[in-house]
Chain A
């Protein structure tokens, strides 16, 4: 029982990171109908920026803030300079360009920082509190919950309560109609990429210290899990991204705890197969959106 409780908390904490990253994928998919395969490499680039800033100044928090801002700048740059010019006549075009970006970013980071794993510290202890001898959450887990929770709440408020959020949703669902109503669809697209890249950078900042360390390919495995989470959730649903992230996080935690850590990639695939067989559009996608 105590192992179950520990694995559950560990899974939820990991799942929130996947949720943040899946949100990044969903935001871009909704706005641009591109699966941004470069999201992982972009997030790693932001974490490297944080690494440099923290090393230079000694402040984790300064590095943290700069990473999110750098992520945004990178997101805007990728959209404005690269993705905007991709021919959308075939859905594969965007994917191929994104994969090219991965190679460029990873290569550049390798040249600048080297291809060794660099140790990155967490701002809080990762030792779990024990309640009645049962390991539960660590301070760092609480930080993860708070950070991702803040992002989810902020995005929810943005989309449901603000004029900008309404514009962003309209531009994503019906670009031509939105333009006729005075919405700058291009501007909303850029904003979507900025927000997505910030969410992706946050996920990178949270997950990299808990794994092997900082490396140009540090987010590759996370990308696979988070992409699965986004697809399970429906790919166009922010709620689906969060739920999908938590489901994948829990699944990975239970599988690695009860079976073996080497089986986890298969578990993710099995989850994808089961969910997509039952609900081809994902859990939270309206079937209409798939037809369109």
Chain B
């Protein structure tokens, strides 16, 4: 599959001796949203954590923008253009909204553009602009998700690894976040690898869906196909 921004081939990984992921293949092209779906424990979060190096892979290749990510330190990933927003939103709750956002751009050399990106995030999420000095733990779930997402955007990533952005959020807020992702993709060409339990909303914005079951890719197809395939939905996605 040529032209892929992220190419994953035969990825195997896990904690300790027993692998959680077996031989996973997937690809994300520039500007594409790929949804990783599957039940609890299917290995979705482990997949993202392995891609960013928080979990060591036991086999396979991860190629980003033409170069192998093997041996890249976790803290250097963001410099390559990959932003990972972990599950549970990853807001540093002891720091303020503003500090969290600035943290997202500290690695950048281009100070002027970092400042610009910061202003853009505040414009994108007005609730954050009103709560700049609030500590992370004072925010609502939706605001935390905005903060985690906004913080990733300050780094102007090319690929966003987004883990369960809808977790614990009201359907309306989930809808807003999905709309925002679609909008960002349209404006900036941002590619997204989206891990979601909320299959319906994920497939509503994704171009492609990858269904994981017990750590293996069982289905990989266009999102529109997955949406319409009733048997598949019953078998793996539970609706």
A179 within 8 A of B: yes
Chain B residue nearest to A165 in the complex (CB): B99
Taking a contact as CB atoms under 8 Å apart, the answer to whether B102 and A166 are in contact is yes
Taking a contact as CB atoms under 8 Å apart, the answer to whether A179 and B74 are in contact is yes
Taking a contact as CB atoms under 8 Å apart, the answer to whether A173 and B104 are in contact is no
Taking a contact as CB atoms under 8 Å apart, the answer to whether B54 and A178 are in contact is no
A185→B107 CA distance, assembly (Å): 13
Taking a contact as CB atoms under 8 Å apart, the answer to whether B92 and A185 are in contact is no
Taking a contact as CB atoms under 8 Å apart, the answer to whether A169 and B75 are in contact is no
Chain B residue nearest to A160 in the complex (CB): B99
B115 within 8 A of A: no
Taking a contact as CB atoms under 8 Å apart, the answer to whether B79 and A181 are in contact is no
A173→B75 CA distance, assembly (Å): 16
A176 within 8 A of B: yes
Q: Considering the complex, which residues of chain A in the window 131-184 have a beta carbon less than 8 Å from any beta carbon of chain B?
A: 163, 166-167, 169-170, 173-174, 176-184
Taking a contact as CB atoms under 8 Å apart, the answer to whether B106 and A163 are in contact is yes
Taking a contact as CB atoms under 8 Å apart, the answer to whether B75 and A179 are in contact is yes
Q: For the complex formed, measure the closest distance between the CB of A173 and the CB atoms of chain B, giving whole angstroms.
A: 5
B69 within 8 A of A: no
Taking a contact as CB atoms under 8 Å apart, the answer to whether B103 and A185 are in contact is no
Q: Considering the complex, which residues of chain A in the window 163-218 have a beta carbon less than 8 Å from any beta carbon of chain B?
A: 163, 166-167, 169-170, 173-174, 176-185
B95 within 8 A of A: yes
- What band does the interface of chain B fall in when counting residues whose beta carbon is under 8 Å from A? 20 to 34
Taking a contact as CB atoms under 8 Å apart, the answer to whether B75 and A182 are in contact is yes
Taking a contact as CB atoms under 8 Å apart, the answer to whether A180 and B78 are in contact is yes
Chain B residue nearest to A169 in the complex (CB): B95
B188 within 8 A of A: no
A177→B78 CA distance, assembly (Å): 11
A171→B74 CA distance, assembly (Å): 13
Taking a contact as CB atoms under 8 Å apart, the answer to whether A180 and B106 are in contact is no
B30 within 8 A of A: no
Taking a contact as CB atoms under 8 Å apart, the answer to whether B74 and A174 are in contact is no
Given A181-B104, A181-B107, A182-B78: A173 in contact with B52 (beta carbons within 8 A): no
Taking a contact as CB atoms under 8 Å apart, the answer to whether A178 and B103 are in contact is yes
Q: For the complex formed, measure the closest distance between the CB of B218 and the CB atoms of chain A, giving whole angstroms.
A: 28
The contact of A174 among B54, B92, B106, B137, by CB within 8 Å, is B92
**Which 10 residue pairs spanning A and B have beta carbons closest together?**
A182-B107, A182-B78, A179-B74, A177-B90, A174-B92, A173-B94, A179-B75, A180-B84, A173-B92, A182-B75
Known A173-B94, A180-B90, A181-B107; further 5 A-B contacts with Cβ < 8 A: A173-B95, A179-B54, A180-B77, A181-B104, A184-B75
